[in-house]
Structure 1
Amino acid sequence: MSANKTVAAACLLGAALGLGVVTPASAAQDAVTVKITNQAGYEATFCAADVLEGRCLDGARKGESRTFTVKPGNGPIEVRVVVKNGGSVFQNFTADGPALNIDAGGSADKPTATKAGGGHGGHDPAPTQPAPDQAKPSPVKGKPFFFSADLDGKQEVPTPGGPAVGDADGSARALVEVRGDRVTYAIEWKKTAQLTLGHLHQGVAGQNGPVKVNLFTTPMPETLSAAAGQTVVDPKLADEIRRNPAGFYVNLHSTDRPGGAVRAQLKPLGKQVNPLDIIKGGKLRAFSNGRNEVPVQGGPKVGDPDGQAITFVQPSGTGVDFSLAWVNIDAPTLGHVHQGAKGVNGPVKITFFGTAVPNGVFAVSGTVAGLDKAALDALKKSPKDFYSNIHTGQFPGGAVRGQFTTH
C-alpha cells in the first residue's frame, strides 16, 4: 500500500495501541491548523490526525509545507513524517492555541518531528487493553527490541504419537517487538489451513519447548492472511527473550496441523518495524467511530463511545482485498460492508469475517472472493453510499461505523 495509507492508520490508532505516544491536552480544543514544514533534504509524506480521523499528503520536499485542520478535543494531535525510501517518525503534540507548526528534520534514515522553535512530542506509549486472562499492563518503558521469524513446515519437530505437524506448502513471516512487559507482533501467512493458535515457545532449533507467550488462543477467521496484536508478559520473561531470542520460536497451529503448521526461531532484526505495516490499504477507506452508528428501536445495542477504526478496501473483479485496524473496542465478532448512506442502515454486501477475531489483535488484512460484481461496481462508483461496520459482543448491532471515501 502507499505510505500515506499506512500512516493514516498509524496516526489514527498508533497512540492508543502503544505504537505511538500520548500527551493529553489539558483542556478541550477547537479546530487547530497544523503546518508541517520540511527543513531537511529528503522528500516525505506528512500526516496529521485527531482522535477520529487523519489525513496524509505526499511529496513534500525541502522548504515545502503541508497544512491540515484537526479537532483534537482532549486528545493529542498525532503527526507522522514518512521519508520516501527512508525512515519514519510518529510523534504526538499538544497545541497551545489555534495553530501548531511542526518542523520535519533529521536525516532520511532517522527523520525527526519537532515543534517549530524546539520541542518534541511525547515518547511514552499508552498500553492497549489486555486479554481477559492477562494482568493489567503498566506504562511501557525502556528500549524496544525487534525480531523476525521466517516460518515454514520443515522447521517443525514431530513428536512420536503426537499431533500432526509441518505444513509442506505453508509459510509465514512474523515480526515481534519486545518493550518493557509488552510483546507486539505482526504475522502474515499463506498456503496454510485456518490458523487456530499462535504461540511463542522456549526452545532451540530442532527441539520442542513449552509455550511461554500466547499470541492468540482462538482461531483466526478463514478470510484473513495477516494480523497484528499485542500481549503482556512477565517482565523476567521479556528480559529472557531480549537476551536470547534464538532460544525462542514462533509456532502457528492450524486445523490440519494441530501440533504446529509452521515454525521458526526468533532472530534480531536490526531495525525498527511497525506492526501496522500489515495493513494493505486500497483505493477506498472509511474512518469509523461509535457516533456514526444508527440505532434501531428494539434492536441490538450499537455505538461504542470510545471506539475508533479504519477500513481499507480494494475491489478487484468479484473479490476484495481488505484491511482493518481498531482501538478501544472489544474483539470484533463480525466485519461488514453495508450499502447505505450516512445516517441510514442498509443491507450487508460484503462480509470481511463472520467469526470472531482473537483477543489482543488490533489489525487484520485478508481477501474475500466470489462477491456480487454489481455491488462492487456500485461501491466503486459511489463509495459514500456504503459503510464499514465492525460488530462486537458488547455492541452486536455495530460498535463503530464509517462511510467510505476515496479521499
Structure 2
Amino acid sequence: MLSRAFAVLAAGLLGLALVPPAQASADGEVFLVAGLRGANEVGTAGDPDGSATVALRVAGDQVSFAIRWDKLDAPKLADIHLGAKGVNGEVKLDLVDGQLPANALGVSGTATADPAVLSALAADPTGFYADLHNSAFPSGAARGQFHQVSRKVDLRGVLQGADQATFSAEATGTRSATWWLRPSSSALDYTITWQGVQAPTAGTVSDGAYSRTELFTTKTGLPANLTGISGKARPVRQLDGQRASLEAPGGAVQATVSGAPFTHPRSFSAEVLLGSQIYICANNAFGQFGVTAKLKFGIDHSFVQPVTGPPQWVAADHSSVQVSSVFGRFPNGTGNIPELVLEVSQSGAATGLLSQATQVLRLNTQRGVAPAGPCTDGDRASSPYKADYLFLG
C-alpha cells in the first residue's frame, strides 16, 4: 500500500496534478505575489524580524498593487527590481516613493510602467523582486521574488490583512471612499480606500463636536498614486454614528460610520511558529508521510490522511481549506523544501479566518527536506522547517 502511495507522490505533490502556467485572463490581467523577508536581502542586512506581502495586478502598461507589512517601519520606497533570487538588479518600477505615516501597515495604489518591462515581468515573475526601503534600512528592509498565481486576487484584501472589521462607512460619487474599522481596547485598526481623491492629508473619525480621532495624518499628503492605506490608530470608545472623513485637496470626503454587519476581502501571511515535515521509509527511501505545524493566528497545518493527503489548514474558528491542485513548484536552495503555489478548496466553516482563501503560497522555506541515505521500511523521520504561508482570497 505504501509503495503505491509513494508512486503517486513521485508523480506530484500528493498525487495532485501540476497545472500548467496560466496565461493572462480574458481581460488581459496577470496577478503576481511576493512574500518579503529581511533575510532575503543581498549584500546588505535587512530587517531581521520584518516581513511583507506585495500583490500586483498587471494589465497593459498599468500596475495596481497592494502592500502589507509586519514588524517593519513604514517604507519610504517600495520598488520592483530585475534580478533572480540571490542577485541584486536595477530598479524597473517604483510603486511607492514618499514618506508614509508612521502608524501605517499597508498601502495600495497604481503605477504606469514601460509595457516591455511588464511583459517581461509577467513572462518570468521569479526573475523580478519587490524591495521595501525605510529609514532604518535604506538599502533594503525586506525583499521577495514574485510568483504568478492562477486566480484573481482582491488587492483590497491584501491591504486589509487578517482581521475582520466590525464597523464601516462609505461615501459614493465621483470622489468616493470606503472605511473598514475594527476597534479594540488597545487600538483602532483602519483600512481606507478611495477613488477620485488626490493625495489625502488625513483620515479621521469624529462626533462633529467634542471627539476627534486621527487615523493617519501627513503634512504634505500621501503619494499621489496611492488609492488606499491601512494601519493602527489610538483606541476610541464610540464609533457607531460617528463621521468618517478623508481630508484632501478639493475638500473632505465624509460618511457616517455604521456597525451593521458586512463582509470584506481578507488576505494575509502566517509564518510557521513550530513545524516539521514528516517522512516514512518505503523501498529503502524516505517519502512524505505528512506535516505538523502551528502557524501564526493559531492555524494548524497537517495532512487529511497520511501519505495521500491532501494538505489542510484549520483555523481555531473552524474555517479550513485543503489543497486541490499544485500551480507551481520552485526550488529554494539545497537543504530547503521547495516553494509552492497551491490552489485550495473550502472544507470548513462558511465564515472565519480561512473562509475566503482560494490560493495558498508556501514561501521563504527553510530546511524540512527528507533525510538522505538508505533507511529501513517503516521508519519515520521528522524534519523541522520554517516557511511563510500566504492565504489569498
Identity of aligned residues (%): 29
Q: Deviations over 1:211-247 (max 9, x none)?
A: 1111010122111112221111111111111111121
Q: Give the number of aligned pairs.
A: 231
1:266 aligned onto 2:129: no
TM-score (norm 1): 0.54
Partners of 1:202 and 1:209 within 8 A in 2:
yes
1:232 aligned onto 2:95: no
Match of 1:143 among 25, 28, 31: 28
SS of the residue aligned with 2:76?
strand
SS of the residue aligned with 1:331?
coil
Alignment of 1:3-402 (within 5 A): 142-158=27-43, 165-277=45-157, 278-279=159-160, 282-288=165-171, 306-340=174-208, 346-347=209-210, 349-355=212-218, 356-369=221-234, 371=235, 376-379=236-239, 383-384=240-241, 386-392=242-248, 394-395=249-250, 398-402=251-255
SS of the residue aligned with 1:199?
strand
Q: Point out where structure 2 has 5 or more consecutive residues left out of the alignment.
A: 1-24, 261-393
Partners of 2:74 and 2:105 within 8 A in 1:
no
* Deviation larger for 251-260 or 201-210: 201-210
Counterpart CA distance in 2 for 1:240 and 1:348 is 51
Partners of 2:78 and 2:96 within 8 A in 1:
yes
What displacement does 1:378 show?
3.2
* Deviation larger for 249-258 or 237-246: 237-246
What displacement does 1:281 show?
5.2
Partners of 1:195 and 1:254 within 8 A in 2:
yes
Question: Could you tell me which residue of structure 2 aligns to residue 59 of structure 1?
Answer: none
Partners of 1:309 and 1:327 within 8 A in 2:
yes
Partners of 1:313 and 1:320 within 8 A in 2:
yes
Counterpart CA distance in 1 for 2:211 and 2:88 is 45
Counterpart CA distance in 1 for 2:238 and 2:40 is 46
Partners of 1:281 and 1:322 within 8 A in 2:
no
For residue 175 of structure 1, what is the amino acid of its counterpart? A
Distance 1:223 1:351, change over 3 A: same
SS of the residue aligned with 1:378?
coil
What displacement does 1:190 show?
0.7
Partners of 1:142 and 1:180 within 8 A in 2:
no
Q: More strand per residue: 1 or 2? A: 2
Question: Could you tell me which residue of structure 1 aligns to residue 258 of structure 2?
Answer: 405
SS of the residue aligned with 2:237?
helix
SS of the residue aligned with 1:236?
helix
Q: Deviations over 1:16-38 (max 9, x none)?
A: xxxxxxxxxxxxxxxxxxxxxxx
SS of the residue aligned with 2:259?
coil
What displacement does 1:142 show?
4.6
Counterpart CA distance in 2 for 1:155 and 1:331 is 32
Q: Deviations over 1:117-164 (max 9, x none)?
A: xxxxxxxxxxxxxxxxxxxxxxx9952111111111111112xxxxx6
What displacement does 1:354 show?
1.3
TM-score (norm 2): 0.56
Structure 1 vs Structure 2 CA RMSD? 2.0
Partners of 2:199 and 2:222 within 8 A in 1:
yes
What displacement does 1:180 show?
1.1
